[in-house]
Amino acid sequence: NPDAVPSARSLHAGRYSFEGLEELDLEHWESVHGGFNTRILNTVNPNYALPLPALRKLVEDGVIGELYPFFYSTVGNQTAIGPAQEIGKRVAEDFKAAGVNAAIQVAG
């Protein structure tokens, strides 16, 4: 959590690169969500939150073209509608500028 995204009432999203990574590992990735138990993500498999191996396989199999090399992470737990809309607007603007035409949203 290098951007100190809070575990509740977030006002921003962190933008992180996964370029060159085949999967997320426990040593470098941690979930800080305050709305659910993060034990499995933080002790077993952080790829449950960002399914990087599955996404890489979709690229390899030709199901999707390529992956945008960044992901956004925030916490919706107790976040008010206005700030959540602003977070979404900023992320959407970045995706549009980069030519991203599809995205997935996962809880985790």
Place of tokens 């969500």: 33
- Which strand (E) or helix (H) includes residue 107? none
Between 1 and 42, the more confident residue is: 42
Which backbone phi and psi does 78 adopt, to 5 degrees? 65, 15
Q: Would you say 7 and 36 are in contact if contact means Cβ atoms under 8 Å apart?
A: no
| Mean pLDDT of all residues in 84-100 | 95
Q: Would you say 34 and 77 are in contact if contact means Cβ atoms under 8 Å apart?
A: yes
Percent of the chain at pLDDT exceeding 70: 94
Alpha-carbon distances, residue 73 vs 27, 87, 97 (angstroms): 18, 10, 19
User: Model confidence at 45, in pLDDT bands (50, 70, 90)?
Assistant: very high
User: Model confidence at 59, in pLDDT bands (50, 70, 90)?
Assistant: very high
